[in-house]
Amino acid sequence: MGTDEVPAEIPHDIPTSARVYAWSLGSKDNYEVDRQFALRSLPSFPEFVDITRANRLFLYRAVRYLTEEAGIRQFIDMGCGLPTDDNVHQVAQKFAPDARVVYVDIDPIVLAHARALLAGDGSTVVITADMRDQTAVLEHEETRRLIDFDEPVAVLFLSIGHHLLDADDPPGVLHHAIDRAVPGSHLAFSQVVCDDPVRGAEVEANANNAGMPWRGRNRAEVDALFRNYLEPVEPGLVDVVNWRPDPDQPPLAPVPDELLPYAGASKVGRDLTEYGGILRKS
């Protein structure tokens, strides 16, 4: 099956990023504490439903680009989140049936829910690990089994940069795998950004106070995380809704009823967005 053993404790007493995010995508794998956190936060940050969903639609387009146009056949998805529709391995294997995927997440619920999805699939694996320990991720026996660093690889950090605090050495974490990778490898990235420093600080405090590590950044701070040897693929790092939009891509599951009042809020204000793109190692 290609999964670690499920760790004993799945936290029920604090909200987790995996469950709150997945709720906005229509997942039912969440607890009261997750829903209450989201419903408390949304009046101040109503764009979250839209930007979460925009990110997941970006994920589909990014993985499609990486398989179809960049010819990538192996993926490491850092902070992969709960399985939902059109997961990375499903999108990649739709366009390249021989694609291999290592999913990495710190939240043990991800592994618990991925078991059924991945049963019998030897080309995809989920490991429970902290992406801040990149050596542990890359040296994990399942990563070593599936990923060949002599071939181009795509390293995905999607909607995850905001979980890297400055003390975590974000450039070190983000570059560890791509530094090892051969030219032609790619790094896909997105994170929540806010160009209004007051609102940005509020978002950051709200998440951190709930026990969810969060470092808000503005676009310039995100741009500064990436080194010169990585070339942005057109159109570069942008609000992800503008990253090669495709009106014909498969839609997401409907927004849950309780979140419907917030759907469309980003049409009013766009200072809180998901910012990202793909960079190529030359």
Ligand X SMILES: C[S@@+](CC[C@H](N)C(=O)[O-])C[C@H]1O[C@@H](n2cnc3c(N)ncnc32)[C@H](O)[C@@H]1O
Using the rule CB under 6 A, which residue among 53, 89, 113, 132 binds ligand X? 132
CB of 49 to ligand X, least distance (A): 13
- Report the residue number, 2 or 229, with the smaller CB distance to ligand X: 2
Closest CA to 222 of 149, 148, 146, 171: 171
Does residue 51 bind ligand X (CB under 6 A)?
Answer: no
Question: Using CB under 6 A, which of the segments 10-18, 31-39, 64-72, 177-185 binds ligand X?
Answer: 10-18
Does residue 86 bind ligand X (CB under 6 A)?
Answer: no
Does residue 34 bind ligand X (CB under 6 A)?
Answer: no
Question: Using CB under 6 A, which of the segments 51-59, 144-152, 249-257, 260-268 binds ligand X?
Answer: 51-59
Distance of alpha carbon 156 from alpha carbon 144, whole angstroms? 17
- Evaluated on CA atoms 281, 83, 208, 12, the torsion sign reads negative
Q: Work out the number of other CB atoms within 10 angstroms of the CB of residue 47.
A: 25
Does residue 131 bind ligand X (CB under 6 A)?
Answer: yes
Does residue 107 bind ligand X (CB under 6 A)?
Answer: yes
CB of 22 to ligand X, least distance (A): 8
Does residue 146 bind ligand X (CB under 6 A)?
Answer: no
**CB 2 within 8 Å of CB 119:** no
Using the rule CB under 6 A, which residue among 92, 118, 155, 158 binds ligand X? 158
Residue appearing with tokens 């970006």: 58
Using the rule CB under 6 A, which residue among 72, 99, 127, 160 binds ligand X? 160
Does residue 203 bind ligand X (CB under 6 A)?
Answer: no
Residues of span 213-232 touching ligand X by CB under 6 A = none
Question: Using CB under 6 A, which of the segments 41-49, 104-112, 222-230, 232-240 binds ligand X?
Answer: 104-112
CB of 18 to ligand X, least distance (A): 3
Using the rule CB under 6 A, which residue among 17, 30, 185, 273 binds ligand X? 17
Does residue 27 bind ligand X (CB under 6 A)?
Answer: no
Binding site for ligand X (CB under 6 A): 16-18, 21, 55-56, 59, 79-81, 104-107, 110, 130-132, 158-160, 163
